[in-house]
């Protein structure tokens, strides 16, 4: 499919979610779109300026820290013991409240590890999920409530790289997404039955399965693999779970998993190496899917049903800079902020039409794969090397406000997104967690 630009379509804005004041309960924040209502955050900071506290991390991980009340939950590796850890810190001073060793073996490929999925929390529990399939639930005091192995129960994951989708809590259910190959790859995957892609809903109190919905796809080989996370959305009173991967995007009923709609494909020739990393985004009148490998962004009109046609697209990006191979876009103050992973370009986009209001070149020597944060009128981003950029949100022109190197020695492929909670920023590098505040 060649990039096209379709006319503007007026659609009512999505109904906003009720947020938990001050907290950052999951990877993409309280409204599942990378945005926060926090104010009073520092515009300028460094390793020594506006630092409330630091905590040493025992190993690297792409997981974003999760904040609930006075607790900071961190999923990590311990590189000295080759183990997986769940850690809880006190938010006010960074002191360690508890640490639990939950498994051994930290990776199966040289570019990532099992601590890539971010935890998710509610007012009673916190859930840690790892790329080896282990899912553990603790209360906020660190007592283990239950544990499951998703790979033992449903089969070894069939991924060429390391699985990294994060769990999601929504409407009283815990959701996991497994979009994988239909046959084993490099010895990974089921040999005793079918390798199926599915959406799984669990009871948060017990871990028991509520339902498992199969999600078929016409994609082939690696294009079946998705490292995206299911994203809750609500539009004109209809709640959905948005799923991107397998060369298409779909919306599902959170109560049953039933597929409500599907659009695809960005891969009509069925290229076999188009794994998908960016998660979908609900952005007012549209739902976004970012095709991989520098291909376009597709905006599907929100609120539709059934098998959708290309005429149901609100717009398709036509500029090469408007693409994202890894970072999930941000929806903040009624604008889309799309980070081009490879070209180091940040775009501000009008959701209804796809009009690019501005594009800005970030002075970054390395890729930016961590997804952007929107808070306090600014956009916060971090590159592979640990350099953080602060950009003014809104306006008619790109405005870089601040740049600072927060890296530890040896940092090369940092992917943890920055979080905002209770008037503070939480920035994770290879060996350090920074709490930044005025």
Q: Long-range contact list for 146-151, CB < 8 A, 24+ apart?
A: 146/206, 146/207, 147/102, 147/207, 148/202, 148/207, 150/176, 150/178, 150/200
What pLDDT was estimated at residue 108?
Answer: 82
Indicate the Cα dihedral angle 99, 104, 109, 115, nearest 10°.
-20
Residue of 26, 131, 140, 30 whose CA lies nearest to 87: 140
Average pLDDT value for residue range 207-216: 98
- Decide if pLDDT at 350 tops 70: yes
- Cβ–Cβ < 8 Å for 290, 299: no
Mean residue pLDDT of the chain comes to 94
Reported as a pLDDT band with limits 50, 70 and 90, residue 262 is: very high
Please tell me the predicted confidence (pLDDT) of residue 192: 87
> Of 1-10, 312-321, 360-369, which range is least confident?
1-10
pLDDT in tens, 81-132: 999 999 999 999 999 999 999 999 988 877 789 999 999 999 999 999 999 9
240: pLDDT strictly greater than 90: yes
How much is the average pLDDT of 416-431?
97
Residue 148 pLDDT grade (very low, low, confident, very high; cuts 50, 70, 90) = very high
Query: Residue 74, by phi and psi: left (phi above 0), alpha (psi -120 to 50) or beta?
Result: beta
Residue 181 has a pLDDT of 97
pLDDT higher than threshold 70 for residue 134: yes
Q: Please, what are the domains in the chain? A: 51-436 (2.130.10.10)
3-state secondary structure of 265: coil
- Residue 252 confidence (pLDDT): 98
pLDDT value of position 424: 98
From the CB of residue 397, how many other CB atoms can be counted at a distance below 10 Å?
10
Cα–Cα distance list, 307 to 94, 216, 257 (Å):
49, 14, 16
Average pLDDT rounded to a whole number, residues 2-22: 42
34-91 tens-digit pLDDT: 999 999 999 999 999 999 999 999 999 999 999 999 999 999 999 999 999 999 999 9
**pLDDT of 178 higher than 70:** yes
Residue 225 to residue 223: CA distance in whole angstroms: 5
Q: What is the pTM of this model?
A: 0.94
pLDDT for the residue numbered 21: 65
């Amino acid at each position: 499919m060649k990039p096209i630009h379709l006319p503007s379509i007026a659609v009512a804005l999505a109904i906003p979610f009720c947020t938990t004041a001050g907290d950052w309960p999951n990877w993409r924040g309280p409204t599942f779109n990378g945005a926060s209502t926090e104010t009073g955050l520092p515009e300028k900071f460094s390793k020594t300026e506006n630092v409330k506290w630091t905590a040493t991390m025992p190993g690297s991980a792409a997981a974003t820290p999760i904040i609930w009340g006075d607790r900071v939950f961190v999923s990590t590796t311990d590189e000295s013991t080759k183990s997986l850890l769940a850690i809880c810190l006190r938010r006010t001073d960074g002191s360690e409240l508890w640490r639990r060793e939950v498994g051994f073996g930290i990776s199966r490929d040289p570019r990532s590890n099992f601590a890539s999925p971010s935890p998710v929390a509610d007012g009673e529990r916190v859930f840690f999920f790892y790329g080896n399939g282990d899912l553990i639930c603790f209360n906020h005091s660190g007592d283990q409530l239950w544990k499951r192995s998703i790979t033992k129960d449903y089969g070894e994951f069939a991924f060429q790289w390391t699985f990294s989708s994060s769990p999601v809590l929504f409407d009283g259910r815990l959701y996991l997404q497994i979009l994988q190959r239909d046959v084993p790859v490099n010895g990974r995957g089921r040999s005793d039955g079918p390798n199926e892609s599915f959406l799984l809903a669990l009871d948060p109190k017990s871990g028991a399965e509520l339902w498992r919905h199969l999600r078929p796809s016409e994609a082939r080989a690696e294009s079946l693999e998705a490292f995206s996370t299911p994203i809750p959305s609500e539009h004109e009173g209809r709640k959905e779970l948005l799923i991107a991967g397998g060369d298409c995007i779909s919306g599902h009923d959170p109560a049953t998993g039933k597929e409500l709609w599907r659009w695809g494909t960005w891969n009509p020739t069925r290229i076999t190496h188009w794994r998908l990393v960016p998660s979908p985004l609900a952005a007012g009148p549209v739902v976004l899917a970012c095709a991989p490998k520098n291909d376009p962004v597709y905006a599907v009109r929100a609120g539709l049903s059934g098998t959708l046609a290309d005429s149901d697209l609100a717009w398709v990006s036509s500029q090469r800079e408007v693409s994202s191979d890894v970072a999930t876009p941000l929806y903040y103050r009624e604008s889309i902020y799309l980070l081009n992973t490879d070209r180091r370009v940040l775009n501000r986009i009008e959701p209804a039409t796809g009009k690019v209001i501005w594009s800005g070149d970030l002075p970054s020597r390395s890729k930016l794969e961590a997804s952007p944060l929107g808070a306090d009128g600014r956009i916060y981003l971090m590159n592979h090397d640990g350099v953080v950029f602060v950009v003014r949100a809104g306006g008619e022109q790109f405005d870089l406000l601040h740049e600072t190197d927060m890296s530890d020695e040896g940092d090369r492929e940092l992917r943890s997104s920055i979080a905002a909670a209770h008037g503070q920023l939480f920035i994770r590098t290879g060996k350090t967690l920074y709490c930044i505040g005025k």
